[in-house]
A and B are shown apart, each in its own frame.
Chain A
Amino acid sequence: MTAPLLAHSSYEEAFQSFLARGELRHPCCRACGAVLGYAARCCPQGHAQVAWKSASGGATLVSWTVYHQAYDARFPVPFVVGEVRLDEGPSVIAGLDAQAASLTAGQRLRLRTPVAGRLIFEPTE
């Protein structure tokens, strides 16, 4: 499923344009190389420039929820959403292509090829 791009700033625009090309990238500090979470726009040392590094697509499952209450027809229930930690460090909210009953915390995940506006991970086995 694709959703419309919501580009609120050059930061969002950059992240989403990589996704649209099938690439997941994460921010890091252009000056010192520190890996940054997606919520940061500069590194704790005060360096302001963000560079985008390719993520390997490997990740672990931190948490997940299964919606039973529908909020929007675009997301029919039951609908699974995960909190995923990339192997590089940053955490991201993402879709999960898995049976909810089979999910466990710490489970290894890999990224399916990204599409515009969506990230979907699946268990490696």
Chain B
Amino acid sequence: MPALAAISGLGLSELSREQVGTARDLAIDAVLAAVSDAGLKPGDVDGLLITKSPSAAAGTLPLHLRNDLSLGALRVLAAVEGEGTSVLQAVQHAALLVRNGMARHVVCVFSDARVQASGSAAGYAKAMELTGISGWEAQQGLLGATGAYALAARRLMLAREWNERDLGAYAIACRAWAALNPQAFLRTPLTLDDYLRSRTIAEPLRLFDCAFAVNGAAAVVVSAASHVSTRPPVFIHGAGQGHTGPALSADAASGVAMAVHGALQHAGIALEEVRMVQAYDAFSFVGLHLLEACGFCAHGEAGDFVRSGATSPGGHLPFNTGGGHLSGFYLQGMTPLCEAVVQARKQAGERQADATNAILVTGTGGCLEYHAAMVLGSEERP
């Protein structure tokens, strides 16, 4: 099956723990960089899909971004909102649009600027709605994503018999990749003792179980595969989603398998043919869950799988090769997507993996409620 579409350009703004501009400013930088990287001029762009954190204020990235960028007449302009799946959903929509001739070059952008100079967590305190009664979690004091994910972490740790050392092994493997990535923020090798000594945010989650938040933006240009001229395109082979139930139901967390298996089926490949995974892992256990839920290892064995080195540099399933959200940087769905593009282009330097023809990329939103997945690769066929 020919590829659905291609990613022809990738651009990032400055990424920083400091305040380096509004989300809107940073989005402009990322889009211009991506368009230039694709060998295009802003006037060549005929689609713009905008994504942001669900916790960012309404109006953070308005449709006026089109005007900010002095883009010409667009055939597609929208904000895409799927919480942590927004970026992959935008790229999926863009791929279908260019494949069906409704646009030629669609830019998908994500930007976030919630890290405050004071180091305050205020930008990350918004309560996640789990029960289904609006405003309820904030009233019970379940503030921020970390507390909500802590409940899910304990539930999965009990069900799968994971312990803190399993979560630590995951964080250590991600840090090993980050050490090879000049763009990663946390590059000092992590030991199990370091992990166990890191402060607890919300039990059972420690600081090193959590994403490393940054201010920054990233954008990609999605083009019809035949319209990519300047550099080898990164092919989009398959796409899937899975939204299987409310957060407090037993079904919700199974959505990742539905999304991943959907994307693999769409791409026409088997799980065993996946050569690399770039996962949305805002919390360590989310990566362990993906490995088990999708069948990369058996239930209860993700800790051993990661400790065996399978997902680390040199392992047979390179996983979050830029350090992921924990050690690389947290730009939600753009973190795994950007790393997949860099790997597929063979631009990953010291951390470059050999096989780049079947890269699984995932996105996760809500509290494990929303899932999206794609298969990307450097070859026309996966």
List residues of chain A with CB under 8 Å of any chain B CB: 3, 6, 8-9, 11-12, 15-16, 37-40, 62-69, 71-72, 74-75, 79, 81-83, 91-95, 100, 105, 117-119
Task: State whether B135 touches A71 (Cβ < 8 A).
Answer: no
On whether A118 and B139 interact (CB within 8 A), knowing A63-B155, A65-B151, the answer reads yes
**Sample of 25 A–B contacts (CB below 8 Å):** A6-B134, A6-B138, A9-B134, A12-B134, A12-B135, A15-B133, A37-B246, A37-B248, A38-B132, A38-B133, A39-B246, A40-B132, A62-B248, A65-B142, A66-B200, A67-B141, A67-B202, A71-B143, A71-B147, A75-B143, A81-B151, A82-B151, A92-B136, A93-B142, A118-B139
Is B121 part of the binding interface, using a Cβ–Cβ cutoff of 8 Å? yes
User: Contacting B142 at CB < 8 Å: which of A9, A38, A39, A81?
Assistant: A81
Interface size on B, residues (CB 8 A): 36
Complex Cα distance, B138 from A95, in Å, reads 12
- State the Cβ distance, A66 to closest chain B Cβ, in Å: 4
Contact of B140 among A91, A95, A100 (CB under 8 A): A95
Chain B interfacial positions (CB closer than 8 Å to A): 121, 125, 130-144, 146-147, 150-152, 154-155, 158, 199-205, 246-249
Q: Give the top 4 A-B pairs by smallest Cβ distance, nearest first.
A: A39-B132, A6-B135, A75-B141, A65-B150
Given contact pairs A9-B134, A40-B132, A119-B140, a sample of 8 additional A-B residue pairs in the complex whose CB atoms are under 8 Å apart:
A39-B247, A65-B142, A66-B203, A68-B201, A71-B121, A71-B147, A82-B151, A92-B136
Q: How far is it, in angstroms, between the C-alpha of A94 and the C-alpha of B125 when the chains are bound?
A: 18
* B221 CB, min distance to chain A CBs, angstroms: 38
Q: Is the interface of A mostly helix, strand, loop or mixed?
A: mixed
CB atoms of B125 and A72 under 8 A apart: yes
| Interchain CA distance A63-B136 in the complex, whole Å | 17
Q: List residues of chain B with CB within 8 A of the CB of A93.
A: 130-131, 136-137, 140, 142, 151, 248
Contacts of B249 in A (CB 8 A): 37, 39, 91
Q: Contacts of A6 on B, CB cut-off 8 Å?
A: 134-135, 138-139
**CA–CA, A31 to B172, complex, Å?**
53
A72 to B120, CA, bound (A): 11
Q: List, in ascending order, chain B residues with CB within 8 A of A72's CB.
A: 125, 141, 143
CB-based contact B141/A81 at 8 Å = yes
Q: A8-B134, A83-B151, A91-B131 are in contact. Are A65 and B143 (CB under 8 A)?
A: no
Q: Is the CB of A118 within 8 A of B202?
A: no
A39 near B131 with CB under 8 A, answer: yes
CA distance A64 to B121 in the complex (A): 21
Query: Which chain B residue lies CB-closest to A72?
Result: B143
